[in-house]
Structure 1
Amino acid sequence: MSRTSRPSSPLDSPRVKGSPVSRPDFRSRLGAILSAVATDLVTEHRFVELEASEPPWLDTGLHVEAGDLVTVVLAGRVFFDQAADLWLDPSVQVWTRVGGHGPIERGSRATNTFRCANSGTVELGNAAPAEWVDRDGRITTDPGLYAFMTGGTTVGLIRWAHGVDPAGALRDLAAAGDVENLLMAEADRLDSAGGSPPPGWEHLWYLGPSEVYVDSDGVITCSSDNDFAIICHGADMALRPDTTLSWEWRVDQLPSAVAEDSFATHDYLSIAVEFDDGRDLTYCWSASLEPGTAFRCPLPHWSERETHLVVRSGTSDLGRWLREERNVHADRARAIGGPDPARITGVWIIAVSCFQHLGGRCAYRSICLADGLSAAAIN
């Protein structure tokens, strides 16, 4: 998908995700552009085929020095189940690291530019079906599970010459010829610092950055388009019988038209509290599940840590600002059960639209944790 004009609303922030161009066509067209570039602009470029069945990490053979700037451009599609059309965009699947060490990173689009923290060769890693357990890119999932994934990603790597400004260089290249607007989109991302979370929030590091959330005058707008994103705000409040989470939200578009409690349909919008026992309780707006319904996350890496509680359902209230106030202690006891954690350590805002690819839109304001002793304004 390519978008070339800037919208007036932050809910319509332009982001180029996976390109619809075929992998061979992408390689041919981008290769022709880069082959004509002088070496005083691009030191080296190469293409690497990263099949979805390849566990982390794949050595690309591109040697870099600490401080070098490298741009990554992606095309392809990664399937959990090709017959069911259950796939991920490469923008959320493909990560990089250098020299066998972190920091691992990925972009918020089908492109990314990063400054190498180490000297060595650039490596590529498929995220799903595993999950990163540290910032060096270690996984504890059985690598054999990757054999069930199909599809893959063609990765274009550009190592810029010293002193080159990638944003300006990409604009010049795009003016001479682009591939589905990917080069211009990366230049725009670099100039706009796309991927930065709202002030006071940070992305959940092992899921990666996004351009889903924008803060505007105390309102956090969310526009999820074929991706997933969690932003986190720190908190430190004892979990008491009178602890509450309150917020206002306006949901304009649900990312699912059916119940969200299965792997293939787990697209949703929610706000969550994180506890000091490593679990979280997330309050969601469902397309069809009844308010009060609680269910464990259907994703394998999340089922033991995240529980969903439906607080709104259906489409009749879409487009309206609504205020919620939930007793966190009572909700946690009913939805999760077991011994009480001692404290709330964070508030999360979550958006997922990577399974059915329908997109979701909403906005949040006036987020607050409170009990009989104190109140903490989150947003």
Structure 2
Amino acid sequence: MSAKPGEGNMHERGCSIQSSDANYNGFWQVAQDQIVSRYIITTRHRYRSIIVKPWELNYVGCLPHHHHHRMPICTTCTRWSSHLYTVYESASNLRLERCSNCHAFVDPYIEYDDLILLIDLILLKSGVYRHLLFNRGAKPRLATEASPKDDDGKRKRGENSRWLLVLHLGSILIFVDAFNRWCHLNPSQSVDLSPWSGFTIFNFSRIFIGCFAETVAFHCGVAAAYSVVLKMTTLIEKLRQRHSSLPESDIRREFSYSLIPLTLFYSSLTKLFLSFLLTIWRPSRSEPLSPTAWNAPKLSNFLNMLDDSQLDIGWIVRNILGGISAGFGLRVILDCHPVFIMLVIFCGSVAKTAMAVLVSQWVGEAWLGYSLL
């Protein structure tokens, strides 16, 4: 919609646009044209003028980003949605919302059981990550409610509850990790020794503190590395916006540093699950092949390298598979190139390895064989 001549304040290389719900599409079309031309758009919102710069305008409407409140996203295409589902007269009578972009259900995981969520987390499905990280606890839309109330404190309360979830989930997973390491480092404990003896409790406490220190070092290394990557990518995008204006992605706008430890804890479930299975069912040992058993000695040597006696399956699960699952989880929340994700994981692993070297002086040298990359 174009403004009539003489209506509103005309600016040099700009225009005056009066937005309304009825002509929202027309406003957005004009806004896109002005962004390409790097105009300054003047909008009117409740009888007051707001100067909106091109790089501050998003597709939600005519308000800048700092007026935007945290909203759920589609688990398929990551497009934002006002609500996940609509509740009618009773809590059991609800209707799932469809995404305006991909036309799929915004979040079908709200109807799934916790066991299904756990299995999908172990299988590294991106949809369950988006559900747990962005959509968990989102308020439904009430059919009897005329207009939803805007509460400025919702985002802060949601951030605080997310940090509490990080502490709760982290304490449980670190305890499980410490138990797995304790079983690995003490495979031949005497049956006559009580599990509640002072020596056993002291030994387990040292391992638990070591796991806690490594986890904190890894998470801090990842967060620090991504803060540098975020500044670099933001600077590059600002330089690119001089020639063309690109809207900020929903993932970038909804990002919070509390998502990093929460994502890393969720992604560690795959590693802990397989490590727990290796603790119960240890891999069997087989005799190495003789070089004369094959006509090709090089092939025989290669097959011997893949033998259980030569490979440390536990180390592969903890470090290789653990790093892959952490990178996959961070790819969901970090809107950057996969190369930067690998760099962030590498920096976190370096910090974790440095902490393992320090912890080994107190726990023991066997700690290095379990923790080092």
> TM-score, normalization: structure 1?
0.27
> TM-score, normalization: structure 2?
0.27
> Which structure carries more helix by proportion?
2
> Which structure carries more strand by proportion?
1
Higher RCO, Cα 8 Å, sep 6+: 1
Larger radius of gyration: 2
